[in-house]
Amino acid sequence: MIATCAANSLASDPLTHGERLLVRTIRLLALTAPCHGLKGLFEQACGCAGHEAYRVLEVFLQQLGAWGRRRLALSVPADPRITNDEAMILDAFGCAQAEDYRSLDERLTGLLGAEPPAGLGAAVCLVAQALAMNGLLVRAQPSPAEAFRWAAE
């Protein structure tokens, strides 16, 4: 249940190279006929783990479609803006890179509109680790409770 549509939100900060690569790859994979050169670009960016990370990212999107109880809004590939759902996807990968698994589960539950299957979090962690090992960082946003705690300090 993934829909490609026009973006309705802007990223507050410019995206990192890893975030741009991830968003672009997800957008193109969500199309019915993804770009054939996409796999090579992802593999080049992620080094020796790139092939597996690309395949697991494909599985991640398939699982979002299979288990999701709501339609996700993705922007068109060339749009520099990101949707709220794309921001939540990036946040999930950022949580995985930060090894914040509780927040990762919260983000995945929000994306699916249901409890995520165990393998979905593992898929996110594998891709996030492959990106991190190649210097492609994805930032995690603090959860509302964390943001409130930091503001009080």
pLDDT tens string 5-52 = 434 433 456 999 999 999 999 999 988 676 778 888 888 999 899 999
Do residues 122 and 75 lie in contact, with contact meaning Cβ atoms separated by under 8 Å? no
pLDDT of 37:
83
Half-sphere exposure of 27 (CA within 13 A, CB side): 25
Q: What is the pTM of this model?
A: 0.84
The three-class DSSP label of residue 134 is: coil
* Per-residue pLDDT at 105 exceeds 60: yes
Question: Among 27-36, 52-61, 99-108, 138-147, where is mean pLDDT lowest?
Answer: 138-147
Q: Which candidate, 75, 20, 73, 15, places its Cα nearest to that of 42? A: 20
Query: Can you read off the two tokens belonging to residue 58?
Result: 């494909």
Tens of pLDDT, residue by residue over 66-95, are 999 999 999 998 899 999 999 999 999 999
- How is residue 79 annotated by DSSP? -
Q: Which candidate, 74, 59, 71, places its Cα nearest to that of 121? A: 59
